[in-house]
Structure 1
Amino acid sequence: MSDKKVSILKAFKTIIWPRRNLVLIGLLLIVISKAASFVAPLSLKYLMDDIIPQKDIHFLKILIGVVIAAILVQAITSFLLTKILSVQAQYMISELRAQVQKKILSLPIRFFDNTKSGELVSRIMSDVEGVRNLIGTGLVQLVGGSLTAIVSLILLLRISPGMTLFALIPLAIFAVIALKAFKIIRPIFRNRGKINAEVTGRLTETLGGIRVIKGFNAELQEHKIFEKGVLKLFENVKKSLTATAIMTSSSTFLLGVATTGIMGLGGYKIMIDELTIGEFLTFTFLLGLMVAPIVQMSNIGSQLTEALAGLDRTEELMNMTAEADIENRNIILDKIKGDVVFDNVSFSYEEEKEVIKDVSFEVPSGSVTALVGSSGSGKSTIAGLAASFLTPQKGTITIDGIDLSNIELTSYRKYLGVVLQDDFLFEGSIKENILFPRPDATEEELQNAIKAAYVDEFTNRFEDGLDTLIGERGIKLSGGQRQRIAIARAVLANPKILVLDEATSNLDTESEGLIQKSLAELTKGRTTFVIAHRLSTIRKADQILVIENGEIAEQGNHDMLIAKEGRYYNLFTYQARI
């Protein structure tokens, strides 16, 4: 079965069939509308051949009344179709967007490391747009148009089989051209979604990094990259427009040929009394009714092709394995003590390039383990593995003796807290950001978190206090202020396992002093992983792991490692001299 058929069947099962009642109402309305559209052309025969020659005013009035009623029925059904199906189509788009966003959020961290956020925005917002044509007026017009064409064809054959067959020859040629054009257009539409996502992704990055762009005077460079992207998009659109233009021009030419032929044939048949003027006019109008939906179908076909291309890309995302669906993750934690053990753990981002090699260590419940080492040594990878953001390729990580790769992630992460080096704050108020992990926290719990992280030390100076809006990513705050909000957020979450990645890196000396106090409170009774460049901040850690080239070079507490006079001693004395 072809890819196209799979998509159409999938679309029917997942989108059309669940809404079959609405679609049936739509189809009923279109049947009524199309039946009403035959009244005017069929009445022409009676008008020209019976009523006018006999000068029958009474029947003329009845005929006009019937035609007006038919036009009114068409108007009402057209309104109801738009009201019912178009509104439902827009609701379906919003539903699909929500489903795609939910699916994306469920994917592993590694997926996000390899995909631009702007590209994902495009896939959530744009790829599902065309689907409205599957449930909206597009599908109904396709079915309604087909019905109209079939009924018209039957009526035309009754009037004049010869003229009908003559008209069908150019229509058949047009149908062949249209089918070939659709085969060309579908991959173009599919590729358009991909290009659009790339361009949107770069644009999102550009706007997010505007300070870096202006700082390096790189506006022109970014403009050229974006211009190149939109030109690529234009080339794609141009290809689809060319295919559409071929269909449109061929339909104009072939229908023109058909119309001219019918004029000649019809005129000749009237002259030899094989056809009346009324029958000829009726034939002409019915031909128009048959041809219009066929031409219209080329346009609807483009819309449906675009919808299916968008569905293909959406389906790719929906078929990806969510974190929760990874095999064997079926153990649900009711409570945890917090004993963490790494046993011969290895991990690589790329094949055959291990970032962590056979790392083994134990972190007893409630203890603090510090990870130190040069940049790129593997500290953050170890923290990412402990936080379940990454899964080891070899070895095991256990929590209270249970293999972390078998634990259902949401049940583990509710006991987890993270404070990252470049901690992400959401646009909104300071209060909203602190309440993020527990929106239903009490005022007392909120105030305790604020005091523990010394957030009130700066919010008291703000006019709006905790309700101060911080801008996108907290741009209106200093690095130290952002870090303290992130720590308050972690305090409020009240985790059993805590990962602090360079939690004091953005702080001035005064802020660092305050933060050290709050971190001492935060780590009490919690299993804590601390990554720090400033070795002065980890002197009280229960154990320090010196990581070099993805391996543990040294292990022990501060005093033991200083006495050893090895790598840690060199790092510590070097920093002390600075």
Structure 2
Amino acid sequence: MFKNYPLLRSLSLYRYMPYRLALTALLFLGANISIALQQFSVGQAIDHLKHAESASIFAHSFTDPQNPWFWFTVIAVIASARAIIQYLGGLSSLIIGQNLLTILREKIFKQVQDLDIKWHWKHGLGEVLTRTTRDADKLKEALINFWRQVFESTLVVLVSVGLLCYYHPLLGLVPLLFIALGLSILFHLTNKMVVLDHHVGLAYEKISDSLAENIHGIRVIKAFGLENDKSNQFRYFIQNFIQRSVDAISFGARYLPIPQIIIALLYVWVMGFGAYLISIQQLQIGQFVAALLMANMLVFRIESVGQVLHIFADARASAARIWQMLDVKPDIQDGDIEPDFRADLGLELKVEGLSIQTETGKFLLKNIQTHFKPGQIVTIVGKTGAGKTTLLNTLNRFFDPSQGRIFIGSEQQGWHDTKNLKLKSLREYVQIIPQENFFFSGTLAENLRVAKPDATPEEMTQALYLASAVELLERLEHGLDTVIGDKGVTLSGGQKQRISLARAILKDSPILALDDSTSALDAATEKNVLQRLKSMSDLKTSGPQTPKTIIINSNKQTTIALSDWIIVLDHGEIVAQGTHTDLMQNSHFYRQIMGFEQPSLSPSSAVYEEI
């Protein structure tokens, strides 16, 4: 219903706290009724005391309206009660605002976690951070000001106009027309301010993206001497943000006074028409004073709404960006089957007719047919861009195929289409170590326990041994309790890869896929790691261990030498598969990749070589 009105849609978040919402509304209602009673009491006091005799003014009883102390007490009690109610209402609205901000950020964080890898590749880190911080804060300010300005100001208008109409209908209805006219102009201006703030938000996202990119790529920047270029680029983004902000502020400064002037005319009307009513004896002096006080309060309150509309304009643009992200449906939908496979019997993967097409119709993978069996090391080889990483990423549903299916299971335990499994279960069975090695800020033990939260020091040490990283453990000053730095900045590339391998080993998934995860290792270390992984995967020597299927994306001969089965990819298609011996005998393309034959040169490349 409110999908096209993101700010109104955000108000639906109040449904998570209905009782506090009702309490806050009652408190503000009571506070504004108290204001009207206070102003009404001032008028009554003036009218009662106007006719009192100065000599005997204090001779009346304390409860007599002719006694000034009576009105002093009434006004003091009302003012005190209003102050308490106003404080409680303001406090409650602030609590609601913070609770809403928490709910909003939790929704954003959960959505970011649920969205698939493809979405994250299309959207930068700065965009996510901007919507979680700047946009969420702006929306929170609007939701808090909804209570302080919109809701409370609406009550002020209703109560004030009601009191003015009590004195005379035209005394209240004409100011209501001025308010309506002024607010309609304000709302019209707000539409333009939303567009301007949208540009401000986009400029801010550029700053966030640039900052995140330059921090993550600091080594490349220093290596290529790009400090000045990146500083100039960042300065341009800052200047663009400043210019957009100035444009938005200037627009508000030019046009916001117009509706404020119109609204201020209601004060002139109350004063002029009130004076006329006094002249024809339809209004008392005290009532006239009370009417002026109410009109004065109306003007200041509605003028403040004009300033707050700028906040709402910012919030409308921010809310649109937030809901735009929250409304995205992940391409990867969770299944509903949670299979109870016995990992000790081994698990297999069957890939049948798998194809992946881009939006432009290009095939990244085409008609892949293969079978990954337990107890094997399977290596996927191919030229750069052949589709090796894409194939691995389909095994645990980082990507879903456009055509074809992937089955997990065995002849003994039955087969399940991976699309029908719960993602958490599938990724417990199929563990992929990506090309990039990410570590959380914290200790080595904390990063290893990501895979197994209850892992003992002995289990972690054993996993490090299997990954040939136990000597790294001996070098670290505090062992497993050593802080390895944000994203592992204190570690070398090879150290990161071995710790990532240890983390995957610790999880003990029956199917382990390594996406070029030994590229930074020296030959001796790589050989040790692969031999230990092979011993884990060998059904004859694994003993009580889970028989594992090891799938490796690599063109390194040291890796291939330990492989039981090799899949050769070219342009997203399997052009050959078999053992190393068979492929050397029967596949010309495989021999080229391995460097045992020179590729045939096209005429253009031959000319280039001669030159």
Aligned counterpart in structure 2 of residue 372 of structure 1, from 381, 384, 391: 381
Aligned residues: 572
How do 1:27-426 residues align onto structure 2 when only pairs under 5 Å count?
27-54=25-52, 55=54, 56-57=57-58, 59-132=67-140, 136=144, 138-139=146-147, 141-164=149-172, 167-190=175-198, 192-246=200-254, 248-260=256-268, 262-267=270-275, 270=278, 275-322=283-330, 325=333, 329-335=335-341, 337-400=346-409, 401-426=415-440
C-alpha distance in structure 1 between counterparts of 2:148 and 2:390, whole Å: 54
Pick closer, same or farther for the CA change 1:233–1:462 going to 2, 3 Å. Answer: same
C-alpha distance in structure 1 between counterparts of 2:106 and 2:2, whole Å: 29
Pick closer, same or farther for the CA change 1:30–1:568 going to 2, 3 Å. Answer: same
Aligned counterpart in structure 2 of residue 24 of structure 1, from 22, 25, 44: 22
Counterpart amino acid of residue 96 in structure 1: L
Pick closer, same or farther for the CA change 1:370–1:398 going to 2, 3 Å. Answer: same
1:535 maps to 2:557: yes
C-alpha distance in structure 2 between counterparts of 1:2 and 1:408, whole Å: 32
State the match for 1:477 in structure 2: 491
User: Which deviates more, 559-568 or 531-540?
Assistant: 559-568
Percent same amino acid at aligned positions? 25
State the match for 2:602 in structure 1: none
C-alpha distance in structure 2 between counterparts of 1:171 and 1:247, whole Å: 17
How do 1:410-489 residues align onto structure 2 when only pairs under 5 Å count?
410-489=424-503
User: Which deviates more, 230-239 or 377-386?
Assistant: 230-239
C-alpha distance in structure 2 between counterparts of 1:562 and 1:174, whole Å: 84
Deviations along 1:101-133, one digit per CA (max 9) or x if unpaired, are 112211222111211122112222333334435
Deviations along 1:373-404, one digit per CA (max 9) or x if unpaired, are 22111111111122321111122222234322
Residue pair 1:491, 1:522 contacting (<8 A) in 2 also: no
User: Which deviates more, 134-143 or 548-557?
Assistant: 134-143
Unaligned runs of 5+ in 1: none
Residue pair 1:27, 1:140 contacting (<8 A) in 2 also: no
Pick closer, same or farther for the CA change 1:135–1:479 going to 2, 3 Å. Answer: same
How far does residue 496 in structure 1 lie from its aligned partner after superposition? 0.9
How far does residue 244 in structure 1 lie from its aligned partner after superposition? 3.4
User: Which deviates more, 497-506 or 519-528?
Assistant: 519-528
Pick closer, same or farther for the CA change 1:415–1:390 going to 2, 3 Å. Answer: same
State the match for 1:544 in structure 2: 566
User: Which deviates more, 147-156 or 53-62?
Assistant: 53-62
State the match for 1:561 in structure 2: 583
Q: TM (normalized to structure 2)?
A: 0.86
State the match for 2:607 in structure 1: none
1:519 maps to 2:533: yes
Pick closer, same or farther for the CA change 1:491–1:464 going to 2, 3 Å. Answer: same
C-alpha distance in structure 2 between counterparts of 1:5 and 1:458, whole Å: 56
How far does residue 199 in structure 1 lie from its aligned partner after superposition? 3.0
How far does residue 297 in structure 1 lie from its aligned partner after superposition? 3.0
C-alpha distance in structure 1 between counterparts of 2:402 and 2:143, whole Å: 45
How far does residue 239 in structure 1 lie from its aligned partner after superposition? 4.5
SS in 1 for 2:475: coil
How far does residue 148 in structure 1 lie from its aligned partner after superposition? 1.9
SS in 2 for 1:359: strand
C-alpha distance in structure 2 between counterparts of 1:173 and 1:185, whole Å: 19
C-alpha distance in structure 1 between counterparts of 2:220 and 2:597, whole Å: 29
C-alpha distance in structure 2 between counterparts of 1:410 and 1:273, whole Å: 81
Counterpart amino acid of residue 581 in structure 2: D
Counterpart amino acid of residue 398 in structure 1: F
Residue pair 2:263, 2:303 contacting (<8 A) in 1 also: no
How far does residue 487 in structure 1 lie from its aligned partner after superposition? 0.9
State the match for 1:496 in structure 2: 510
Query: Over aligned residues, Cα RMSD in angstroms?
Result: 2.8
How far does residue 277 in structure 1 lie from its aligned partner after superposition? 3.4
Counterpart amino acid of residue 450 in structure 2: F
C-alpha distance in structure 1 between counterparts of 2:259 and 2:431, whole Å: 64
Deviations along 1:475-525, one digit per CA (max 9) or x if unpaired, are 111111111111110110101111111122112344334433433345442
Pick closer, same or farther for the CA change 1:220–1:575 going to 2, 3 Å. Answer: farther
Residue pair 2:267, 2:296 contacting (<8 A) in 1 also: no
C-alpha distance in structure 1 between counterparts of 2:355 and 2:41, whole Å: 83
Pick closer, same or farther for the CA change 1:240–1:295 going to 2, 3 Å. Answer: same
Deviations along 1:343-370, one digit per CA (max 9) or x if unpaired, are 2222134422112222222222221111
C-alpha distance in structure 1 between counterparts of 2:578 and 2:158, whole Å: 85
Deviations along 1:274-300, one digit per CA (max 9) or x if unpaired, are 544323221210112333333333344
SS in 2 for 1:362: strand
How far does residue 429 in structure 1 lie from its aligned partner after superposition? 1.1
Counterpart amino acid of residue 428 in structure 1: G
Pick closer, same or farther for the CA change 1:149–1:541 going to 2, 3 Å. Answer: same
How far does residue 19 in structure 1 lie from its aligned partner after superposition? 1.9
User: Which deviates more, 241-250 or 476-485?
Assistant: 241-250
SS in 2 for 1:38: helix
How far does residue 52 in structure 1 lie from its aligned partner after superposition? 4.8
C-alpha distance in structure 2 between counterparts of 1:293 and 1:132, whole Å: 21
Q: TM (normalized to structure 1)?
A: 0.90
C-alpha distance in structure 2 between counterparts of 1:560 and 1:166, whole Å: 95
How far does residue 46 in structure 1 lie from its aligned partner after superposition? 3.2
C-alpha distance in structure 1 between counterparts of 2:10 and 2:595, whole Å: 66
Residue pair 2:429, 2:509 contacting (<8 A) in 1 also: yes
Pick closer, same or farther for the CA change 1:17–1:419 going to 2, 3 Å. Answer: closer
Residue pair 1:339, 1:363 contacting (<8 A) in 2 also: yes
Residue pair 1:109, 1:389 contacting (<8 A) in 2 also: yes
C-alpha distance in structure 1 between counterparts of 2:195 and 2:331, whole Å: 31
SS in 2 for 1:76: helix
Residue pair 2:381, 2:553 contacting (<8 A) in 1 also: yes
Residue pair 2:260, 2:303 contacting (<8 A) in 1 also: no
State the match for 1:572 in structure 2: 594
Residue pair 2:101, 2:140 contacting (<8 A) in 1 also: yes
How far does residue 245 in structure 1 lie from its aligned partner after superposition? 3.0
How far does residue 422 in structure 1 lie from its aligned partner after superposition? 2.4
Residue pair 1:116, 1:201 contacting (<8 A) in 2 also: yes
Residue pair 1:16, 1:134 contacting (<8 A) in 2 also: no
Residue pair 2:376, 2:549 contacting (<8 A) in 1 also: yes
Residue pair 1:192, 1:233 contacting (<8 A) in 2 also: yes
SS in 1 for 2:435: coil
Residue pair 2:377, 2:534 contacting (<8 A) in 1 also: no
User: Which deviates more, 63-72 or 138-147?
Assistant: 138-147
SS in 2 for 1:127: helix
C-alpha distance in structure 1 between counterparts of 2:578 and 2:153, whole Å: 79
Deviations along 1:181-217, one digit per CA (max 9) or x if unpaired, are 2333334445544443343223211111112122222
C-alpha distance in structure 2 between counterparts of 1:513 and 1:325, whole Å: 39
Pick closer, same or farther for the CA change 1:6–1:453 going to 2, 3 Å. Answer: closer
Residue pair 1:174, 1:247 contacting (<8 A) in 2 also: no
